[in-house]
Amino acid sequence: MRLMNSRFLAPLCPCALAVVLGCSSAKIDPEVTGSTAEANVQGTVKVRGKLVSNGEVMFDPANISRPTAPVRKAPIGKDGKYSIKALVGPNTVTVDSKETLGDSTLQSGDRFVVRDGENTFDVVLPPPAQ
């Protein structure tokens, strides 16, 4: 009986492996990077069309290739502007301010891909309809 089971299952192993590898590779984001290179990012923060003049903006670069990368934080100035050094690659950006406190529609973060050099990302909450 054991011999029959192994003869039956042996041909299925390569098929199962191909399915697993094929499916998992399709989910990898081509922008994901393990890089520790930094780039300058600047921009403004608006909530419901008005510039935010308090709080902070946070860039979270964590991904499968850098799961423990620390979140970078920058204060939002009275003019609604921020400036930060963020890791190159995808970053999830969130805002912590009086205007976003307790509003679930403003809690989800935008995803920005930071490139080498200078970057400008204006954070608009809630995000515009697409």
Q: How far apart are CA 115 and CA 86, in angstroms?
A: 10
SS3 72: strand
> What integer is the mean pLDDT of 115-125?
96
Is the pLDDT at 1 greater than 60, yes or no?
Answer: no
The predicted pLDDT at position 19 comes to: 42
Residue 23 lies in a domain: no
Backbone φ, ψ for residue 42 (5° rounding) = -140, 165
For the stretch 79-92, pLDDT in tens is 999 999 999 999 99
Range of the domain at 106: 38-125
117: CB partners within 8 A, 6+ apart: 39, 40
For the stretch 93-111, pLDDT in tens is 999 999 999 898 887 788 9
Instruction: Give the CATH number of the domain where residue 47 resides.
Output: 2.60.40.10
Split into its structural domains, the chain has a count of 1
Residue 19 lies in a domain: no
